[in-house]
Amino acid sequence: MEDTQVQKQISLRNIKKMALGDLRGIVYPRQVVLITSKAEAEVMGKRSIRDDVMAASWHTPLSFSPQMYAVVVGKERFTYKLIKKSRVFCVNFIPYSMEKTAVFAGSNSGEHMDKFKEGGIIFEECEKIECIRLKDCLAFLECEVENEVEAGDHVIFIGRVVNSGVKKKSNERLFQLLQPGGRKFGTVK
């Protein structure tokens, strides 16, 4: 074997294997959005129409034409149950100043709590889907689920954007600096 090949093998052996959760500086920072959802749900034997909001830093644009956007939602989230049922969701882009709201929406489940009431989160009705969106968001994407993909303990909901809007242009959006569960945030100007 040539010297350069041997060196390549040795340096490959030195590459540290890391779990996804440890790849802080590689996968993060990521922009935090709030996903809003609405559907009929049964909680403790009682059926009612429920609204929910959760923080998400795993989401991505997919296509310009048609406009498509994907969100990655854990199967234990109440949001997951609501989107499964309604087949719609809204992606709300938020300013850095809404950090506390994101942490609140990202650390409580809407299954047994009205996060809007408890967290003082103001909402309004979406225009093109049966769902709500945040009044104070910077921009929003109203999406209809076109497809969903199983991805381990999460599901990728692929949405077709049926309505979108920018309420306020700002670079000061909220970014999560560390891995899921991490509570460090920043922004760019």
Ligand X SMILES: Cc1cc2nc3c(=O)[nH]c(=O)nc-3n(C[C@H](O)[C@H](O)[C@H](O)COP(=O)(O)O)c2cc1C
Residue nearest to ligand X (CB): 106
Told to check if 99 binds ligand X by CB under 6 A, we report no
74 binds ligand X (CB under 6 A): yes
Q: Is 95 in the site for ligand X (CB under 6 A)?
A: no
Cβ partners under 8 Å of residue 122, min gap 6? 116, 134, 135, 136
Between 78 and 140, whose beta carbon lies closer to ligand X?
A: 78
159-183 per-residue burial string, b: 16 or more CB within 10 A, e: under 16: bbbbbeeeeeebeebbbbebbbeee
Q: How far is the CB of 150 from ligand X (least distance, A)?
A: 14
78 binds ligand X per the rule CB under 6 A:
yes
Interaction between residue 131 and ligand X (CB under 6 A)? no
Answer yes or no: are the C-beta atoms of 147 and 68 closer than 8 Å. Answer: no
DSSP β-bridge partners for residue 7: none
By CB under 6 A, is residue 62 in contact with ligand X? no
- For residue 28, state whether it binds ligand X (rule: CB under 6 A): no
H or E element in which residue 16 lies: none
Q: Which position among 77, 96, 126, 132 is part of the footprint of ligand X (CB under 6 A)? A: 77
Write down the least CB distance from residue 13 to ligand X, Å: 34
Contact criterion met (CB below 8 Å) for 73 and 89: no
Q: One-letter amino acid identity for 138?
A: L
For the CB of residue 128, give the shortest distance to ligand X in the complex, in Å. 22
Q: Cis link prior to 180 (omega < 30° from 0)?
A: no
Q: Does residue 54 touch ligand X according to CB under 6 A?
A: yes
Residues in contact with ligand X by CB under 6 A are 32, 52, 54-58, 72-74, 77-79, 102-103, 106-111, 154, 176, 180
